[in-house]
Chain A
Amino acid sequence: MVTSDINASWNPSPLTPAVFHILLALADGQKHGYAIMKQVDKDGGGSLRMGPGTLYGSLQRMAAAGFVRELEEADDDRRRYYCLTGTGQRALDGELARLRQALTAARQKGLSAATRAITR
C-alpha cells in the first residue's frame, strides 16, 4: 500500500516542544485554541504552559506545513477549531517513536530519571 510505504519512510526532523504538544493535544479529536492550551498543560503535567501568542503562531505555521487543518465551522463564541491531518498524525507518530527509542536507550544506560519516566 502506498500509505503504509509513506508511513514507514516518514522520518521528519525532531519537532519543537510546542508543535509536538499541539499535535499530541489534537490526537484525540478536534479542539479550539483554548482547549488545546488546556490539553497541553494537562499533557505536560503542568510543566509546559503555552500562551496564546505561541499557540496561534504555532498553529498558523503548522497549518501552512500541513500538520493541522482549520475546520470550516466555528462555535457560538466564534472560536475556530483545528484537527490533525494525515501529515500531522505521521509527524506525531514519528516523534513518539523517536522519544520511545531515546527512553529505551536511556533505560539501558541506567539513567534513573529516564527509568522513572518509563515506569511511571
Chain B
Amino acid sequence: MSMSRHMRRSILTAYGLGLRLYPAEFQGRHAAEMLQCADAMLSESNSNHRTVLLLVEDFFRSLLTETFVMTIPRIPQLAILLTLTTFIAGTGYLISHQVLRMSANDPQIQLAEDAASRMTEGENATDVVPERRVDIASSLAPFVIVYDDSGRPIASSAYLDGSIPAPPRGVFEFVRSDHEERVTWQPRPGVRIASVMTRTPRGFVVAGRNMREALVFKLAAMGWLVANVALTALWLLMPLFGGSKTPQLQVTV
C-alpha cells in the first residue's frame, strides 16, 4: 500500500523536527542525511506501517544513545559548576551568618545594661523584666532573665519547654569577676541564643534572643538547590544548541 504524498511529507516534517532534539554536533553532521534516508525508506518501502514504526523506534533509541554518549565527557564540566555553586552558597551562608552574628548582640547589650542599671537604682527584678512571655524556641523576640547571686532565676520573660533556661555555669563565674560577657549558648539542640550577661549588685541579668541561623541556612540551601537544578537543566539542554543548522526537508515524490 503506497503512502499518500501528504502523509509522507507530514511524517518527514515530524522526523525533521525530531532531529532537532539530537545533540547539536551530531545533528549538524548527520541530520540532513538521516532525513534523506528516512525519505528513501518511505519511498521504497512495501510496508509503510513497518517503516514508520522502525523510524520511530530508531529515533528514540538513537536519540537516547547519542545524548548519553555526548553527556559522559561533559560530566567533569557539571561537577565543576556544581562545586562552584556549592562554594558560592557556602560562602554566602558563612558571610550572612557572620554578619548576623556580629549584629545579633546589639539590642541585648542595651536591654541588659538598662535592666542592670534599673536594678542598681533599686527596682525589683520583676519590674525590669518585660511582661510579654517569649518562647525562645519559636520566637525571635529579645528576652530578659534575672538571676540571683547564686545563679537561680528569679524573674524571666523567657521560657523554653515551660521552664526558664540558664546559660552554662562557667558564664556566671566569668561575669562575677569580669562584669559582662557576650555568649552564644544552646539550651537545647536547634535553639541557639545570642546573649549578653551583666553583673548587678544582687545577681546577674541576661538579655538574649534566638538567632536566625535556621532561616539563613534554609535560604542558603534553597539557593543552592535552585541554582544546581537550573545549572543541571541548562547543562543537559546545552548540546541541543550550538549553531547547528536545521535539516532542510527536500521531499521528492
Q: Which residues of A contact B (CB under 8 A)?
A: 32-34, 37, 49-57, 60-61, 77-80
Task: With CB as the reference atom, state the residue of chain B lying closest to A80.
Answer: B33
Chain A residues, CB < 8 A from B29? 56, 60
B62 interface hit (Cβ, 8 Å): yes
Task: With CB as the reference atom, state the residue of chain A lying closest to B29.
Answer: A60
Q: Which residues of B contact A (CB under 8 A)?
A: 26, 29-30, 32-38, 40-41, 54-55, 57-59, 61-63, 65-66, 69
Determine whether the beta carbon of B26 is less than 8 Å from that of A52. Answer: no
Q: Which of B32, B36, B40, B58 contacts A53 (CB 8 A)?
A: B58
Chain A residues, CB < 8 A from B66? 53, 57
Rounded to whole Å, the gap between the CB of B12 and the closest CB of chain A is: 12
Contact A60/B54 with A52-B34, A53-B61, A54-B62 known, Cβ cut-off 8 Å: no
* Contact sample, A vs B, 21 pairs, CB 8 Å cutoff: A32-B33, A33-B34, A34-B36, A49-B54, A51-B54, A51-B57, A51-B58, A52-B30, A52-B35, A52-B37, A52-B38, A52-B55, A53-B34, A54-B62, A56-B30, A56-B33, A57-B66, A57-B69, A60-B26, A78-B32, A79-B33
Q: Which of A34, A57, A61 contacts B37 (CB 8 A)?
A: A34
Chain A interface SS verdict (over half) = helix
Complex A-B, nearest 7 residue pairs according to Cβ-Cβ distance, in ascending order:
A51-B58, A53-B62, A52-B34, A56-B30, A52-B37, A53-B58, A34-B37
Chain A residues, CB < 8 A from B40? 34
Task: With CB as the reference atom, state the residue of chain B lying closest to A36.
Answer: B37
Determine whether the beta carbon of B33 is less than 8 Å from that of A51. Answer: no
Determine whether the beta carbon of B36 is less than 8 Å from that of A54. Answer: no
Determine whether the beta carbon of B33 is less than 8 Å from that of A53. Answer: no
Task: With CB as the reference atom, state the residue of chain A lying closest to B37.
Answer: A52
Task: With CB as the reference atom, state the residue of chain A lying closest to B51.
Answer: A49
What is the bound-complex CA distance between A56 and B69, given in angstroms? 13
What is the bound-complex CA distance between A98 and B248, given in angstroms? 43
What is the bound-complex CA distance between A35 and B35, given in angstroms? 14
